[in-house]
Structure 1
Amino acid sequence: MKQAILITAYKNFKHLVDIIDFFDESFEFYIHVDKKSKVLKSDFEKIGARKNVKILSRKYRVNWGGLNHLKSSLFLASKALEEPANQYFHLISGQDFPIKNITQFKKTTNGSNLKDYLEYFEIPTKHWANENGGLDRIQYYHLFDMLDAKKHIKWIWRFVRLQKKFHFKRSIKDETPKLYGGSTWWSLSRKTLQYVIYYTNNSPYLINRLKYTFCPEEIYFQTIIMNSNASKKVVNDNLRYIDWESTRIDKYSISPAVLSSSDFEKIKASKKLFARKFDSPTSDSLKAMLLKNE
């Protein structure tokens, strides 16, 4: 049995090589690099030259908060499913890093009755209380695909406030399934991921409705899976160590803290498979400690 690691990345390409080199030949990599990212040709070639890198694509221009991040994840999932040997799938970012050894990865995904690890909660939810329980994400137009949030975040939220001021709301039709939200990142069995792709190809209403939704990748997988029979084997845990005690980006969103060597003992004690986020030089010593401990 092989495991596929799907990575959406936009920077830190030397770190991306370190992620790939951590794993052995029983892991395959499917990587999407943001089309607008500046990446040296030498770095790109170095990544593509790794034997276990099966897909290295720049198919989509990905704006934070927009639909194309979800599309790039679905693209990688479809490609990874084309390899019959791939039986388990992990979606991570290019700023993640594995925090367990290979044996523990294989132990987690061993056996015929594989569990799916996915954070989920019903919408509306207290987790997104400042967004009307998450309903604001869906009921108002968010222009993240049209505007780069790094440059125009104030204008994006001003447009949302303008819609609220004039009492404009997008309808949520009866054909919309019960909505669930959660973390972008997951670890899923082949059967469950196949169902998500089957649903995407045969029931396009949901993905079309999530256009102009804020961070639709935090809704799409949860909604499809938790409205299916696959929900019975979902563990409400994404197996990612993330520290949310961080600096707020704006009034609606926060970014996970960049991890450092001071986080080592907490990471070592956790039962997670990956941690995020890693950024150089802050995380360099932590990564060295994890590799030494591996």
Structure 2
Amino acid sequence: MSKHAILLLGYKNIEQICDYINLLDEDFDFYIHLDKKSKISQERILKIRSFKNVKFIGQVYKVNWGGKKFLEAFLYLAKEALKEKSTKYIHTTSEADLPIKSPAYIKEFFIKNDGKQYVEFFSIPTDRWVDGGLDRFNKYNFYDKFNFKTKIGFKIIIYLLKIQKLIGVNRNISKNFPPLYGGSTWCSLSRSCIEYSLEYTEKNPNFLKSLTNTFAPEEIFFQTILMDSPFKNDIVNDNLVYIDWVFRNGNSPAPLDMSDLEKLKKSDKLFARKIQPPISEDLKIELLKYLKT
């Protein structure tokens, strides 16, 4: 029986991770990485382990927003998922995501679209990103060393970037890259596609090494590798995730709320984010009811 592997990055919301697991059936295996910075009790970790379809839980990396450890955590989980011979498709997700279709619908979707790779992509430079996205590569971005989500970390990272621009720092790393592509972190890729990507990094170690001190490298990793690969013609420019990119509820992308319920029900996407308490709590309750009927 073919299986789906859910690679899930978790931080602290154990209850929502459990809700996610409960919404899918035995054909979906979970591979979970919990942020090493998070102080999560063994009791709560054991709660996740109690689910039969949780195949692996690791707490190896301190995952800072924008840092390379984010990507490394996903690659770590992907290697674990590939140990399961029945794994057919692999999905990158986080604790802020939930499926918005039934397990049967999701499985049937990938049977009908077998061999397709679902990942958002666009060429770099792009007007979607500040400075065309090039500052991600030609400046040293210290998101792994400092936590951008803290006041002091934010100030240090921004200050160091300003200094580099002032003195004209320009990292020349393009020689280690094929043509650059970017896009969303979240994707649904076939086993063979993930295997190819991991083999690429083994054969081209300078590619992964050059992503050190690159901002949000998980947003260029698969796109850049796959758009220069035999899988190029199988890629569908869609990550299958419902995301509202407007600034709402204090953030962008917006934490979803009850005003999004009907849009989620009518959406052709398979997953949604951000489902973030307490803003999304009522929405999550209604989604759970809807998907269980």
Shared fold by TM > 0.5? yes
- Could you say what secondary structure the match of 2:12 adopts? coil
1:290 and 2:263 matched = no
Larger mean CA deviation between 59-68 and 104-113 belongs to 104-113
User: Any stretches of 5+ residues in structure 2 without a counterpart?
Assistant: none
After superposition, residues 1-294 of structure 1 pair within 5 angstroms as 1-111=2-112, 113-128=114-129, 131-151=130-150, 152-246=153-247, 255-294=252-291
| Alpha-carbon displacement from aligned partner over 1:12-44 (angstroms, at most 9, x marks no partner) | 111000101111111100000000012132211
Could you tell me how far apart the structure 1 residues matched to 2:259 and 2:193 are? 37
The Cα shift of 1:255 comes to 3.4
SS at match of 1:174: helix
SS of 2:106's equivalent?
helix
SS in 1 for 2:111: coil
Contact 1:12 1:279 (8 Å CA) reproduced: no
- Structure 1 Cα separation of the partners of residues 103 and 169 of structure 2: 51
SS in structure 1 of the partner of residue 56 of structure 2: strand
Contact 1:140 1:160 survives alignment (8 Å)? yes
Q: Deviations over 1:163-209 (max 9, x none)?
A: 11111110134342111100000000111111011112221111111
In the aligned structure 2, how far is the partner of 1:248 from the partner of 1:163?
Answer: 34
State the alpha-carbon separation in 2 of the partners of residues 175 and 248 from structure 1.
40
Q: Is the 1:99–1:272 contact (alpha carbons within 8 Å) kept by the matching residues of 2?
A: yes
SS in structure 2 of the partner of residue 44 of structure 1: helix
The change in CA–CA distance for 1:93 and 1:216 in structure 2 (over 3 A counts) is: same
C-alpha RMSD over aligned residues = 1.5
Could you tell me how far 1:247 is from its partner in structure 2?
Answer: 5.8
Secondary structure of 2:140 counterpart: coil
Distance 1:59 1:28 in 2: 20
In 1, Cα distance between equivalents of 2:41 and 2:280: 22
Residue ranges of structure 1 left out of the alignment (5+ in a row): none
Deviates further, 111-120 or 89-98: 111-120
Q: Distance in 1 between matches of 2:155 and 2:177?
A: 30
Q: Per-residue deviation at 1:161?
A: 1.2
Code of the aligned partner of 1:71: E
* Contact 2:249-2:279 at 8 Å conserved across structures: no
Between the aligned residues of both structures, percent identity stands at: 45
Deviation of 1:111 (Å):
4.7
Q: Is the 8 A contact 2:245 2:253 kept in 1?
A: yes
Do the aligned partners of 1:14 and 1:43 also contact (CA within 8 Å) in 2?
A: no
Matching residue's letter, 2:141? H
Cα separation, 2, equivalents of 1:206 and 1:277: 31
Shift of 1:243: 1.0
CA deviation profile, 1:196-229 (whole Å, cap 9, x unmatched): 1111222111111110011011011111111101
* SS of alignment partner, residue 289 of structure 1: helix
Count matched residues: 288
Equivalent position SS for 1:149: coil
Per-residue deviation, residues 271-292 of structure 1 (Å, max 9, x unmatched): 1111011122221211121122
